Amino acid sequence: MAYRFDGVDDAIEFAFAPFSGYTFGPVTFAYYLKRNQNTALDVPVAFTRSALNGRLYTRFNPTKNELQVAGSGSTASAKSVDLTSLWYLIAVTWAGAGTVARHHIHDGTSWTHESPGSAITSAADATIARLFVGGWVAGAMLSADLVCAGIKKADSTDLQIEALSRTSFPAWTGFGFHWLAGFEAAGTIVNRAAPGSGNEISRVGTSLVADPPGWTWSAPTSGAMGKIKFGTGLTVTDEGSNVIRVDAAAATAGHVIADEGTALTQRATLDFAGAGVTVTDATPKTLVTIPGTDSGAELAYTQFTSNVTVTATSAAAAQTVVTAPAVTFDGATPVIVEFFAPLGSVNVAGGQLIFDLWDGSTDIGILTGFTAAGGGSAVPFPAVRKLTPTAGSHTYGIRAWTNAGTTATVLAGVGGVGAYVPGFIRITKA
């Protein structure tokens, strides 16, 4: 049922406790009603001082909805709410001093949201002490059938207001009002937002009339009212006749795990294993890191295309044949150092040609070499060493030396018919 206020003296006062300490500021008023006349300045909801001076209230003036802030200004809707045949869902939101109030009206067909008029320049008023529904003084009494009314001590967005329903009271109880009254029975009206605080304390008149078409009360008529909260990802639909439908989001199919295109038996758990494999939660995704198997990847390469004459007779004085560019290593990755010269020759029997591998200024050993059995001997030089450099930068190179009385030559060219190809040093991952 709804309550009919006769426009003469019908009114209900509620305990002020939910608004103790409240001053003029951000507020949301909302009510669902059908007007029974459209010629008077009647008031749905009002805050007054103890001496019944109206301070913060809504009213019809007489064909528009209006917010009044005593001593500071008012603002009325542009849309008319004067048809006595319609049930109107009306809300007024105000962000506080220096802002324009916003009116929200649903006439049974669609929502209208508007901010007409000028900003209300309000100063705080801590003197409000009483809360009335239906008016409080002659000339301001409500003539309407009222289903429910609520007040929130905060501004509300258009989208939040549109969550209020013309058919279901639970939509109002879940809105976040600090005070909410549902006028569905003849007993004492309870503050549904916080039962026991803000309940009815006095009444003059009122009578019961039929609810608007399609309206349902899915709540107790007295005492504490329970609430059900639905989490994200659910769709909640009021299907009428006290039926609330909750639909979960459709589950999305997971990935099909396959081995070279052949689907495997699908399991609930996908487990990664193997040396070096790591799996971390990197919102919004799961990150799987698999170390690359890049064996053979080239890290450095330098070639030489002209002969190198070697006369040095000790490793310490060895002559540079070819040097690779500097490479920075991680201290754990093994590498292959490869050296090639098309030919190396000495000019006397017993002559030697020796190649040492150097790391920067450090000789790390003989890599290859030969001793001539006779004068004018020559051999090609491919040589390879696997090692694991320490962490940091390393510059590897090949230096050559010979024995006393010998002249040696490392031969190389640019290639082509009858010409030697280049010699080189190359460093790759093992």
Is the distance from CB of 3 to CB of 183 less than 8 angstroms? yes
Strands 2-6 and 143-152, bridge-based pairing: antiparallel
The predicted structure's pLDDT at residue 224: 41
Measured at the CA of 197, the angle between CA 194 and CA 202, to 5 degrees, comes to 125
Lowest mean pLDDT among 271-275, 303-307, 355-359: 271-275
d(CA 220, CA 3): 17
pLDDT per residue as tens digits for the range 214-235: 999 974 444 444 456 666 777 7
Q: Which of 77, 96, 98 is nearest to 155 (CA)?
A: 96
Whole-angstrom CA distances from 43 to 58, 135, 268 are: 6, 5, 62
CATH of domain 298-429: 2.60.120.1340
Closest CA to 429 of 276, 291, 292, 299: 299
Give the Å distances, CA to CA, from 263 to 162, 175, 254, 273, 361: 49, 50, 13, 19, 56
pLDDT of residue 245: 74
Token pair of 68 as six digits:
């009044």
Of the two residues 218 and 170, the one the predictor is more confident about is 170
Query: Cα separations (Å) of 34 from 3, 82, 217, 299?
Result: 10, 9, 18, 84
Check if the beta carbon of residue 131 is closer than 8 Å to that of residue 138.
Answer: no
Distance, in Å, from the CA atom of 188 to the CA atom of 12, rounded to the nearest integer, reads 10
Q: What is the mean pLDDT of residues 89-95?
A: 94
What is the reported pTM? 0.52
> Tell me, what's the pLDDT at 229?
64
Domain segments of the chain as ranges: 2-216, 298-429
pLDDT at residue number 428: 97
Give the span between the Cα atoms of 212 and 107, in whole angstroms: 13
The pLDDT assigned to 220 comes to 42
The CATH fold assigned to 2-216 is: Jelly Rolls (2.60.120)
Q: Are both 2-216 and 298-429 of the same fold? A: yes
Note the pLDDT tens digit of each residue in 24-72: 789 999 999 999 999 888 999 998 888 888 778 898 888 998 887 775 6
User: Per-residue DSSP letters for 230-259?
Assistant: --TTEEEEEEETTEEEEEEPPPPP-PPPEE
Phi-psi region of 206 (alpha: psi -120 to 50; beta: other; left: phi over 0): left
Q: Which among 146, 143, 226 is positioned nearest to 182, based on CA atoms?
A: 146
pLDDT of residue 43: 93
What percentage of the chain exceeds 70 in pLDDT? 91
Tokens representing residue 53 in the block: 């001076």
